Amino acid sequence: MPSLPIWQFDVPLLILVVLFAVVALSIRNLMGTAIVFGAYSFMMCLIWAGMGAVDVAFTEAAVGAGVSTVFIVSTIYNTSATMPPRPGGLPFKLFIGVVVTLTGVFLLSAIPDFPKWGEPNSPANATVAPYYISNTIADAHVPNIVTTVLADYRGFDTLLETTVVFIACIAIYSILRVDEARSKTEDSGPVDAEPHYDPSDSLIVRQASRFMVPFMQLFALYVIAHGHYSPGGGFQGGVILGASLILVAISFDLKFLLAQWREKQIMLMVAWGVFLYAVVGLGCVFMGGNYLDYGFLNPVLPGEQDMARSHGILLVEIGVGITVMFSMIGIHINLASNGHFDRGL
Amino acid sequence: MENLIANFNYVIVVILMMIGLWSMLAQKNLIKKCIGMAIFQTGIILFFISIGAKDNALIPILTEASDHKYHDPDVAKVANPLTQILMLTAIVVGVATLGVGLALAQKIYREYSSFDEDEILNKQTK
């Protein structure tokens, strides 16, 4: 058997990931599915960290393993976790199995044509990426190359991705939100699943999160501000900030959170984040440069052209952080209260 | 066969994509369809990260030399940052779209009080 070119550590992890994916989909209780899916995300996160993608691993740990598990659990909380047994349907499943196997065989047949794993001169690694690696210090004085590419070299990409998060938040509001007056008359039937327990009863959970939340928020601000020099940035910091307020909503009460941040304010903040990003780009146009060319901001921002780019990246990351933070909260309060905004997970 | 072992990562990518696709097509439960979509997505992310990985490379964060200056890095020894940032944004957008999917599932449950595809179709025809 030829020696594997990837690290020995990765092989058991890759096998575990497949195992977890199969287990997550075959458990008949949806709550179990959600938890195993969280474990799956953590395994994925380890694999990516092993391949040197620390920023991606950080994001996955915050988003995939943390927030998305909360989203799935709050959906289940409002609906039902059980799956009725459904016998039969074997021909259909066999047919789908054949289709999927055929697709897999086609994809597998393409694998021998790929460059070897870890090849530094493969097309993906040899075209534009070397420029980013060797010029990040001279252009923007940011040692974390991922941050430079994210907010500067490929600023348009990130601007539109932030817009997608904003649009997804609006979409969830328009799908789930219930008009209060209408819901009063229609409030019957299986819409309101009775909560099995009152989570706000637990003194321990409440006190623990009361101590944890300030440190989480401080850490998140550090992640945003220090994203130039270490793994992190607007996306990760925003998700952690959002998660800290989601923790408040879960451990205390949804109303407790909504008393401090009204839904209108939350929606406005989501928009303000994208707005800040777009305005920084427009500022560059007014200073005589191209859109999102932060170097031209150096009359306004301190430092020479490269430091102006560094500060422009920070401004943009703050915008991304605000949007991501409040859209995570907005999505959570909708999913957790089934659109009623009164009580929930 | 030797090629498949040498590119073990990509084999796992294909298997994950097959699992995700199977779940989206064959599972009757809407939540499991959403999770299948997420698994499919992580398969693609793993594919991109595998492409950008370099053997014996460092993470894409440069470090100061002993004279507190950044010298020109050895490009072959720094992991590809480009595929990483593309996937970083894809993860955050992925959780937002997963939220949209779950919201749709909740809305359907409100109407039909079931996640089961067949049951929903039965109630629609009645």
Q: Which residues of A touch B107 (CB under 8 A)?
A: 175-176
pLDDT for the residue numbered A2? 43
Structure tokens given for A250 = 């879960």
Whether A238 is covered by a domain: the verdict is: yes
**Distance from C-alpha of B5 to C-alpha of A6, rounded to nearest angstrom:** 10
Whether A129 is covered by a domain: the verdict is: no
Judged by CB atoms closer than 8 Å, whether chains meet at A169 and B96 is answered as: yes
Judged by CB atoms closer than 8 Å, whether chains meet at A72 and B73 is answered as: no
What sign does the dihedral A290-A293-A298-A301 (CA atoms) show? positive
Whether A87 is covered by a domain: the verdict is: no
SS3 state at B113? coil
Domain count, chain B: 1
Cβ within 8 Å of B, A 201-240: 229-231, 235, 239
**Distance from C-alpha of A183 to C-alpha of B28, rounded to nearest angstrom:** 29
Residues of chain B with pLDDT > 90, as a percent, come to 51
Q: pLDDT per residue over A118-177, tens digit each?
A: 788 888 888 899 999 999 998 888 999 999 999 999 999 999 999 999 999 999 999 998
Q: pLDDT per residue over B66-125, tens digit each?
A: 888 888 888 888 889 999 999 998 999 999 999 999 999 999 999 888 888 888 888 988
Q: Which residues of A touch B103 (CB under 8 A)?
A: 171-172, 175-176, 331, 334-335
Check residue A195 and give left, alpha or beta (phi > 0: left; psi -120 to 50: alpha): beta
Question: Do A157 and A265 contact (CB within 8 A), yes or no?
Answer: no
Q: Which residues of A touch B21 (CB under 8 A)?
A: 100, 103
Question: Looking at this predicted complex, what is its ipTM?
Answer: 0.93
By Cβ distance, the residue of B3, B16, B31 closest to A111 is B3
Q: Which residues of B touch A84 (CB under 8 A)?
A: 116
Judged by CB atoms closer than 8 Å, whether chains meet at A63 and B78 is answered as: no
Judged by CB atoms closer than 8 Å, whether chains meet at A71 and B93 is answered as: no
Whether B67 is covered by a domain: the verdict is: no
By Cβ distance, the residue of B19, B27, B75 closest to A130 is B75
**Distance from C-alpha of B92 to C-alpha of B96, rounded to nearest angstrom:** 7
Enter the pTM of the model.
0.90
Longest dimension (CA), chain A: 71
Low-confidence ranges of chain A (pLDDT < 70): 1-7, 181-201, 344-345
DSSP H helical segments within B27-75, as ranges? 30-52
pLDDT for the residue numbered A281? 92
The enclosing domain of B20 has a CATH number of 1.10.287.3510
Whether B65 is covered by a domain: the verdict is: no
Judged by CB atoms closer than 8 Å, whether chains meet at B110 and A55 is answered as: no
Instruction: Determine the structural domain holding residue B99 and report its residue range.
Output: 2-60+75-125
Judged by CB atoms closer than 8 Å, whether chains meet at B89 and A37 is answered as: no
Q: What CA–CA distances, in Å, run from A268 to A126, A163, A172, A326, B4?
A: 43, 14, 15, 9, 51
Whether B69 is covered by a domain: the verdict is: no
Nearest CA in chain A to B48: A124
**Distance from C-alpha of A70 to C-alpha of A243, rounded to nearest angstrom:** 9
Structure tokens given for A49 = 């960290």
Domain count, chain A: 1
Instruction: Determine the structural domain holding residue A276 and report its residue range.
Output: 153-184+198-345
Q: Which residues of A touch B24 (CB under 8 A)?
A: none
Q: Which residues of A touch B113 (CB under 8 A)?
A: 189-190
Question: Do A241 and A325 contact (CB within 8 A), yes or no?
Answer: yes
The average pLDDT across B21-40 equals 93
Long-range contacts of B118-124 (CB under 8 A, 24+ apart): B118/A86, B118/B28
Judged by CB atoms closer than 8 Å, whether chains meet at B72 and A134 is answered as: yes
**Eight-class DSSP state of B75:** G
By Cβ distance, the residue of A59, A108, A335 closest to B103 is A335
Whether B66 is covered by a domain: the verdict is: no
**Distance from C-alpha of A136 to C-alpha of A145, rounded to nearest angstrom:** 6
Whether A148 is covered by a domain: the verdict is: no
SS3 state at B60? coil
Shortest Cα–Cα distance, B72 to chain A (Å) = 6
At A59, the amino acid letter reads T
Residues 6+ apart with CB under 8 A from B91: A56, A59, A60, A63, A64, B45
**Eight-class DSSP state of B66:** T
Cβ within 8 Å of B, A 63-102: 63-64, 67-68, 71-72, 75-76, 78-80, 83-84, 86, 89, 92-93, 96-97, 99-101
Average pLDDT for chain B: 89
Q: How many CB pairs under 8 A join A and B?
A: 305
Judged by CB atoms closer than 8 Å, whether chains meet at B7 and A79 is answered as: no
Gyration radius from chain B CA atoms: 21
Judged by CB atoms closer than 8 Å, whether chains meet at B63 and A165 is answered as: no
Judged by CB atoms closer than 8 Å, whether chains meet at A21 and B79 is answered as: no
The average pLDDT across B32-46 equals 94
Judged by CB atoms closer than 8 Å, whether chains meet at A5 and B55 is answered as: yes
Judged by CB atoms closer than 8 Å, whether chains meet at B2 and A161 is answered as: no
Question: Do A146 and A154 contact (CB within 8 A), yes or no?
Answer: no
Whether A332 is covered by a domain: the verdict is: yes
By Cβ distance, the residue of A4, A40, A165 closest to B8 is A4
| 3-state DSSP of chain A | CCCCCCCCCHHHHHHHHHHHHHHHHHCCEHHHHHHHHHHHHHHHHHHHHHCCCHHHHHHHHHHHHHHHHHHHHHHHHHCCCECCCCCCCHHHHHHHHHHHHHHHHHHHHHHHHCCCCECCCCHHHHCCHHHHHHHHHHHHCCCEHHHHHHHHHCHHHHHHHHHHHHHHHHHHHHHHCCCHHHHHHHCCHHHCCCCCCCHHHCHHHHHHHHHHHHHHHHHHHHHHHCCCCCCCCHHHHHHHHHHHHHHHHHHCCHHHHHHHCCHHHHHHHHHHHHHHHHHHHHHHHHCCCCCCCHHHHCCCCCCCHHHHHHHHHHHHHHHHHHHHHHHHHHHHHHHHHCCCCCCCC
**Eight-class DSSP state of B68:** S
Question: Do A233 and A55 contact (CB within 8 A), yes or no?
Answer: yes
Residue of B113, B106, B35 whose CA lies nearest to A172: B106
Q: A146 CB near a chain B CB, below 8 Å?
A: yes
Token pair 């990760």 is found at A236
Residue B126 above 80 pLDDT?
A: no
**Distance from C-alpha of A158 to C-alpha of A151, rounded to nearest angstrom:** 7
Q: Which residues of A touch B118 (CB under 8 A)?
A: 86
At A210, the amino acid letter reads R
Question: Do A291 and A284 contact (CB within 8 A), yes or no?
Answer: yes
